[in-house]
Structure 1
Amino acid sequence: MSGPLRSSPVLVLLTVVAGLLLPAVPAAAAPSFQRYVAIGDSFTSGPFIPPQVSPGCFRSGRNYPSLVSERLGVPLADVSCAGAGIREMFARQTGGPFGAIANQPPQLDALTPQTDLVTLGLGGNEMGYIELALRCARHGVTNLTGSPCRDDVLRDGHDEYQAAIEQAEAGVDRVLGEIRKRAPQARILVVNYMQVMPEDTGCHPDVPFAAGDVTYLHGLQRTLNEMLARQAGENRVEHVDVYAASAGRHACAPADQRWVEDAFPENEGAPLHPNAAGMAGVADLILRQL
């Protein structure tokens, strides 16, 4: 039997030369974009998260569009604005509680044929989520049993908030179509809403809702997110599922774990809105998907 095989000097030399001549396998690189436009409402703009770079829109310099732009090194046109809904995509924002101080052009006007990345966070104001939260808080101050807010909403047998989500679907479809028309080369990502409330238990007095109303609010948010996912699919654009990633990081979670603040914020952020940690979490999800 022959002894152990030994590499000859010639074989070693050929192996080294071959290694030098073969092309290296490139490492995964971040995608390159030329112009990023961020469209959305207060869950995009980041109220009360410093620095506030556009006080009229309660827009933060540390919201998720700013973090994504910085990480990718891409110029950003962030036109997200608190209080914005489908109307403000096409018309100047002048109405509502924030409109008088926002007074900004239609958000879709920021799009150009050169725009190649767009994120869209829209629908919460169409549903009236914050209005409903305030309504439920008023009930919760005096009644923490059952579902007094839900019972009030449904007293005539009609759920106006559920109906608003259904009516908003055509508007979201129209907005996505207009984005594609104005920025035909863009990669478009629909960003849904992170979990605001737990599924079935509250945290009074930090969030003064009756337990049954917590379940009701959670169900409406789930319906809103399902509508956004459906529209992303029908329009053949991408969907970023922030809701799933934020499970357990709702307003009733411990302060150092939550992505959404409660009625009395302990972190940087507005009540029942994303805080700085939530914005960083959304940015990470978007970057991972890109």
Structure 2
Amino acid sequence: MSRATTALACLISSIALTIATATPAAAAAADSSDWDYVALGDSYSSGVGASGQSGICLRSPNGYPGLWDKANDPATFRSVACSGATTDTLRSSQLSALNSSTDLVTVTIGGNDVGFASTIITCTLSSDSGCAAKVAEGMKKLKEQMPAKFNATYREIRAKAPNATVVVLGYPILFDENAPSCGFAGMSIPKRKSINAGAVELNKAIKAHAQAAGFRWSDVSDEFAGHGICGPSPWLHGLTVLPPTDSFHPTGTGYQSGYLPALNSAL
């Protein structure tokens, strides 16, 4: 097995194929020092790709929830986000962290549901047409299965945290589509375009369902514009051998300069 295949097979991905601005569902206190903040979601919420990851969920204080906590010093902060989380595992294992006193909830979720890790593996190892077919498979799931899953997830978040402002964040568009070369085991331009198109559709779906639930949506694609994988100034890891779990996740700069401002703009 090649190093590229090994790294890809080890991915615990929670990103999108990747990749929600509504009216606030509930008004939070004006002073964030009074807030009780809970972070839910997948590896993009747990902070995979940043330094300081620990535990089976690979949580890092340098992901965007931890950075927001450090900058705003809320009354309480708890992250139950976990690498590899899906809407089903979020509902079964993370919602117990919420209650009627929760003031702020943030969440990224949905990328794993549509099979991002397997898509990245297929796109790296197969042809351009094989990659496009795999992305189409994920988009079929997005259309047929994810509406009910998103609606159930958002409904249960609101039931558990009836007084919270809930911010749903999207996923970056992963790849620069113009660079002719994409490094070690890099994607061709047609593959990058297929994956990016899938991310756009995923974000559209998340946004629609988050806004229908009365949650705030924060689209991070503007913050990450010009900083895709293969580009001259990437804020996302490409294929990473050590540790492989960092692959296709934001760098520390991506969380600090991409996700954190996107969250702040929603608040």
The 3 A distance-change label for structure 1 pair 124 and 111 is: same
Where structure 1 has 5 or more consecutive residues not aligned to the other structure, the ranges are 1-28, 92-105
1:165 paired with 2:146, answer: no
Task: Trace 1:16-165 onto structure 2 (pairs within 5 A).
Answer: 31-52=32-53, 54-74=54-74, 75-91=76-92, 106-139=93-126, 147-150=128-131, 152-153=133-134, 159-165=136-142
Q: Is the 8 A contact 1:202 1:209 kept in 2?
A: no
The 3 A distance-change label for structure 1 pair 85 and 277 is: same
2:163 corresponds to which of 163, 174, 185: 185
Q: Is the 8 A contact 2:42 2:109 kept in 1?
A: yes
Residue 263 of structure 1 corresponds to which residue in structure 2?
Answer: 239
3-state DSSP class of the match of 1:59? coil
The 3 A distance-change label for structure 1 pair 233 and 211 is: same
Aligned pairs, how many?
235
> Structure 1 CA distance, aligned partners of 2:195 and 2:132?
12
Residue type matched to 2:264 in 1?
A: L
Where structure 2 has 5 or more consecutive residues not aligned to the other structure, the ranges are 1-29
2:260 corresponds to which of 283, 286, 289: 283
Residue type matched to 2:65 in 1?
A: P
> Structure 2 CA distance, aligned partners of 1:217 and 1:270?
18
The 3 A distance-change label for structure 1 pair 163 and 152 is: closer
3-state DSSP class of the match of 1:55? coil
Q: Is the 8 A contact 2:170 2:219 kept in 1?
A: yes
Query: Shift of the alpha carbon at 1:134?
Result: 1.1
Residue 13 of structure 2 corresponds to which residue in structure 1?
Answer: none
Larger radius of gyration: 1
> Structure 2 CA distance, aligned partners of 1:263 and 1:56?
21
Residue 96 of structure 1 corresponds to which residue in structure 2?
Answer: none
> Structure 1 CA distance, aligned partners of 2:214 and 2:133?
39
The 3 A distance-change label for structure 1 pair 150 and 180 is: same
> Structure 1 CA distance, aligned partners of 2:155 and 2:34?
21
The 3 A distance-change label for structure 1 pair 43 and 160 is: same
The 3 A distance-change label for structure 1 pair 151 and 112 is: closer
Identity of aligned residues (%): 26
1:233 paired with 2:211, answer: yes
Residue type matched to 1:80 in 2?
A: A
Q: Report the RMSD for the aligned CA atoms in angstroms.
A: 2.4
Query: Shift of the alpha carbon at 1:152?
Result: 4.9
Q: Is the 8 A contact 2:44 2:249 kept in 1?
A: yes
TM-score by length of 2: 0.80
Residue 23 of structure 1 corresponds to which residue in structure 2?
Answer: none
Q: Is the 8 A contact 1:201 1:214 kept in 2?
A: no
TM-score by length of 1: 0.74
Query: Shift of the alpha carbon at 1:55?
Result: 2.1
Q: Which fold has the larger relative contact order, with Cα–Cα distance below 8 Å and residues 6 or more apart in sequence?
A: 2
